[in-house]
Amino acid sequence: MERDQGWASKKTRKRKLPEEEDRGMLDLSFDELNQDLLEKVLAWLPTSSFCRLRSVCKRWSCVAESATFLLACSQIPSRDPWFFMVDPNLDQSIVFDTAEKNWKNLNHSLHLQQNPGHNSIPVAASGGLICFRTVSGEFVVCNPVTGAYRELPPVCTTNQSQTLDAIAMVSSANRSSYKLVLVCGDLPNLSAKVYDSGTNQWEEEITLIRNTNRNSLESESSGDETLYFLSKAGDVVATNMQRSPSKQYSSVITVKDGEEIIYFLSSTGTVVACNLAKKCFSEYPRLLPLYFEYSIDVIECRGEMLLVVLSELLESASLRVWRFSEENRLWHQIAVMPPAMSHEFYGGKADINCVGYGDQILICVNSTGTEFGSCFLCDLVTNGWIELPKCFVNGKPREFMSAFSFEPRIEACV
């Protein structure tokens, strides 16, 4: 009998059933969390939710303005990218959220939009920041999520009349600082200028020399000459590429073995790689012949430079992604848009403007011949291609000529 009573007493001390525990957790209110734990929980919310924190209650409004909350946000490893869209009128206010797969209108007006006389265009992005260039040549760095901005000191170069070839931006690993890199000159006379946000000043100008090492990349031409050929329609076409204003300085920057390398397209469509650490540059082998009609853009994905090319062949259009192999020094195709999708671009004089982030590429396709405009998202892992839904503003579809990718972070400092 005593044995039975002992067994019964042990039975009453057993753990609660999962259903009972769940009911207990449901009774837990956010009001019962201490400030530190509440901030860590809210830091995991999607970035689009941060704008609504202030309207929930007074306590959450205080959290949104807390320095420790920004610190908690900075400890989130990564966030799904937003693509900052650019339309022909340079009205920068719309982003595409890859996490929620929808369009968003920024709830605040960017500083440069409040000053139409600046006539600024986005030229580079990194981390959670976007860099704009004004018509007077000044640079402004902005956090599109918060609206915070910084006007950079004026650029002083040895030759103010030099051609500006590339503008690239790179952030530190903890996103506490960033660099803006400018490449100027005409091949083969190139120089670089670097702005460091940590010191808030431009560093000494770097003169870049051509890499003459036998193992370096070699180009089929010097890249500074203009050739002319007849198009399929019989028109005289120049090899010098005409780019849209927002992608005029299309370039990307990568860090390889601790060395920063900036890639950009020359006026004839060759890829130029500038190694800032070694103060030299090289030209990649041409992907397509000079006389071949195509549109091309350079992007960065997972720290690697890639090319996106739209070309026409055998009465059809093809859109492909290429990677350069250092081993055999050849371009290799890694992704291709389904022919049923790319054929729509044939004969439309289409131009592509692309941007990469992680394993995704956003491609804006615009055609002057058929007034065609659309955006596509490519997944390099699955080779999946989808056309993004149209963005409607006041009942009218909005068309975009390019985009810039950034990681939406409210803690990103300008």
Q: Express each pLDDT in 184-226 by its tens digit.
A: 998 889 999 999 999 999 999 999 999 876 455 554 444 445 5
Q: What is the largest CA-CA distance in the chain?
A: 107
Strand 236-238 relative to strand 251-256, pairing: unpaired
Q: According to the model, what pLDDT value does residue 231 have? A: 46
Q: According to the model, what pLDDT value does residue 7 have? A: 42
Least confident of 1-5, 284-288, 326-330, 335-339: 1-5
Q: According to the model, what pLDDT value does residue 113 have? A: 52
Q: According to the model, what pLDDT value does residue 350 have? A: 83
**Mean pLDDT calculated for residue range 273-285:** 94
Tell whether the model's pLDDT for residue 14 goes beyond 70: no
Q: Give the dihedral of Cα atoms 241, 244, 249, 252; nearest 10 deg.
A: -100
**Mean pLDDT calculated for residue range 366-374:** 71
Tell whether the model's pLDDT for residue 335 goes beyond 80: yes
Q: According to the model, what pLDDT value does residue 299 have? A: 95
Task: Tokens for 213, please give them.
Answer: 């090492």
Burial 33-63 (b: 16+ CB within 10 A, else e): eeeeebbbebbeeebbebbebeeeeeebeeb
**Distance spanning both ends of the chain, measured CA to CA:** 76
Q: pTM for the full model? A: 0.80
Tell whether the model's pLDDT for residue 357 goes beyond 80: yes
Distance, in Å, from the CA atom of 181 to the CA atom of 203, rounded to the nearest integer, reads 10
The pLDDT > 90 percentage for the chain reads 37
Tell whether the model's pLDDT for residue 12 goes beyond 80: no
Q: According to the model, what pLDDT value does residue 136 have? A: 85
The CB density around residue 140, as the number of other CB atoms within 10 Å, is 21
Residues 242-258 have pLDDT tens digits of 566 666 788 999 988 88
Q: Which residue has the tokens 């957790």?
A: 25
| Pair 251, 264: CB distance under 8 Å | yes
Question: Would you place residue 363 in the very low, low, confident or very high pLDDT band (cuts 50, 70, 90)?
Answer: very high
Distance, in Å, from the CA atom of 66 to the CA atom of 72, rounded to the nearest integer, reads 10
The average confidence (pLDDT) of the chain is: 80
Question: Would you place residue 370 in the very low, low, confident or very high pLDDT band (cuts 50, 70, 90)?
Answer: low
Tell whether the model's pLDDT for residue 10 goes beyond 50: no
Distance, in Å, from the CA atom of 102 to the CA atom of 123, rounded to the nearest integer, reads 24
Plot region of 213 (φ>0 → left; ψ -120 to 50 → alpha; else → beta): beta
Q: According to the model, what pLDDT value does residue 263 have? A: 95
Is the domain 78-213+225-406 a CATH 1.10.260.40 member?
A: no
